[in-house]
Amino acid sequence: MDTRRLLRTFAIGIGTAGLLISGCSGSGSSPSASATGTAAPEGLSSYYAQKLSWRDCGVEGFACTTMKAPKDYDEPDGGDIELAVSRKKATGPGERIGSLLVNPGGPGGSAIGYLQGYAALGYPAQVRARYDMVAIDPRGVARSEPVECLTGPEMDVYTQVDQTPDDEAEVRKLSASFEKFAAGCEKRSGEILPYVSTVDTARDMDVLRALLGDEKLNYVGASYGTFLGATYADLFPERAGRLVLDGAMDPSLKAVDMNRDQTAGFEGAFQSFAADCVEQPDCPLGTTSTADAATALKQLFKDLDAKPIPTGDDRKLGESLATTGVIAAMYDEAAWPQLREALTGAQRSDGSGLLSLADGYYERGPNGKYANLMFANAAVNCLDLPPAFDGPDAVEKAVPDFEKASPVFGRGFAWASLNCAYWPTEATGTPNRTEAKGADPILVVGTTRDPATPYKWSEALAEQLSSGTLLTYEGDGHTAYGRGSDCIDTAINTYLLEGTPPADGKKCT
C-alpha cells in the first residue's frame, strides 16, 4: 500500500465519528475594503510590517519561522498570538510565480505537517519548481498555540463511549462525555477558544501573504481547507489569486444539514466499498450483494456493542472504535484491502486492525498520546456554526432522518452531532452564501463519491462564488488532486502555472 498516499488521506480527512466538520463563520470584523495589495487594514500596520526571521527546521530543504497576529482582530491591541510557518523554496527551472499556501483541512490538520510530509515533496514537480511551497498551522492547531482538552488516557475513554445509546443511562453517559470534553477544553485552553474561528485564520493568512511579499494569495485547500480558502476570497477578493478548493464545503448550510449530508456521503462511500468487497475472494461481509454486506457490518457493530473484543492493547474494540476504523478507510479506496483484513480479524475476535485504523484517524501515537487534531476540530467547528442540536431530545427526533441518509452509520452520526451543544464558547459564525465578488477565477474541485465532502457541496460552492469554476472527478475517495487522474492533475497544474482554469463543468475520471 502507498504509505504516502495514506498519510495524505488521514491528514486531510476529518469528518464524523464524534466531531463533524462544519460550515461558515462570521466572526471578527471585516477588513477595510480599501486594503488592497500589501496595504495593511486599519489598526494592523505593526502586524503587516513585521519581519520574518527564517531558520532551519531540522527537516532537509525546509525553513521555519513564526509570525504574530492579534488574538482578537476586533481589538488588535489586546495581545498577540504566535503562529508557526514553514517554507520550501521554489526549486526551478522556470520563473518563480510566488508562494503557494497549502492547507489539508480538518479543521485541525497540521498544514506544516502536510507540507513537510507530502505537499512540498509530492505535488507535481512543475508546480514545486515555480512556487515557494508554504504552510501556516492555523491558530489553535499543532505548532500554533494548540488547543488542548483531554489527556491521553482521558481521550482513550472518550473515544470508546457508545455513540449509539440504547437507553437513558447510555444517553446520559454520552452527554456527560461531551460535557467533560468541553470542560477540559475550557480548563486548558479557555483563553484562546473564542479566537480560533475560520475568519480569524483567514485574516492570519492575509498577514502572511503580505509578509511573504505576495500581492495576491495563491492557495490549495482540501476539505475544510476549501472553506478556509473561500472565506479568504470573500474577505479579500482583490487579493485572491489562484485558489484551488478541492473537496469543497457548502458555507450556506446549517450544522444539522451539513452533518446529515455528510452522513449520506459516508453511506455512499460504504456502498462503493461494499460493491467492490463482494467481488473479492477475501470479503468478510459476504459475496452476494451490497445489501447483505451492509447487514453483515451492522451485525458486527451490534455484536461489538454487546461484547467488545481484544486488540492486543489495553483497550478493547467496541462499536464506537470499530465504526471510526471503518470510517477512516472510507476516505481512500487504497485503504479498502486494509479494511477487509481488519474486518476479517474482528470477526475472529481480533480487533487490532480496526483499532489501528481508528488510531490513525484520531492521530493517537503508539505512546498513547494524541495530537491536538480533535481538540482543534471541535474548537473551530463549535465557533463557526451554532450547534446542530441543543440536547438529546432534539437528536432523538432527528435520528430517523439520519438513518434514512445512512442505515449503517446514521444513528451514530446523529448522536455525534451533539458535541457542540455543550461548548463553553458561543458560536460567532452563521451559515451564509460565499460570493467573493471581484475575485479572480477560483477553481472548485468535487469528487462524485466523496464521503466527507459530498459532491453537491462542490456544486453549491462553485455556484455561489461569483468567479467559481467547477472541475469534477468521477470516482471514489476524498478530494481529487494527486489521486492518479491525469485529467484532474493537468487541469489543476495548468491553472496554478498559467492562471487559466478549465472550462466550467469539465469532468474527469
Active site positions, annotated: 223, 450, 478
Element (H, E) at 85: strand 80-88
Helical ranges in 430-477 per DSSP H: 455-464
Q: Do the beta carbons of residue 273 and residue 336 sit within 8 Å?
A: yes
Give residue for cell 500589501. Answer: 38
Residue from 237, 249, 293 nearest 431 by CA: 249
Give the pairing of strands 63-70 and 442-449: unpaired
Q: Do the beta carbons of residue 458 and residue 248 sit within 8 Å?
A: yes
Angle at Cα 270 formed by Cα 268 and Cα 272, nearest 5°?
Answer: 75
Q: What is the dihedral of CA 177, 178, 183, 185, to 10 degrees?
A: 110
Between CA 355 and CA 348 the distance in angstroms is: 14
Between CA 342 and CA 322 the distance in angstroms is: 10
DSSP 8-state secondary structure symbol assigned to residue 334: G
Q: Do the beta carbons of residue 418 and residue 58 sit within 8 Å?
A: no
Phi, psi (degrees; rounded to nearest 5) at 102: -125, 150
Q: Do the beta carbons of residue 497 and residue 31 sit within 8 Å?
A: no
Distance of CA 30 to the CA centre of its chain: 24
Give the pairing of strands 240-246 and 217-222: parallel
Angle at Cα 435 formed by Cα 431 and Cα 436, nearest 5°?
Answer: 120
3-class DSSP assignment, residue 470: strand
Between CA 91 and CA 36 the distance in angstroms is: 29
The letter for the amino acid at 9 is T
CB atoms within 10 A of CB 60: 8
Omega of the bond prior to 454 within 30 degrees of 0, cis?
A: no
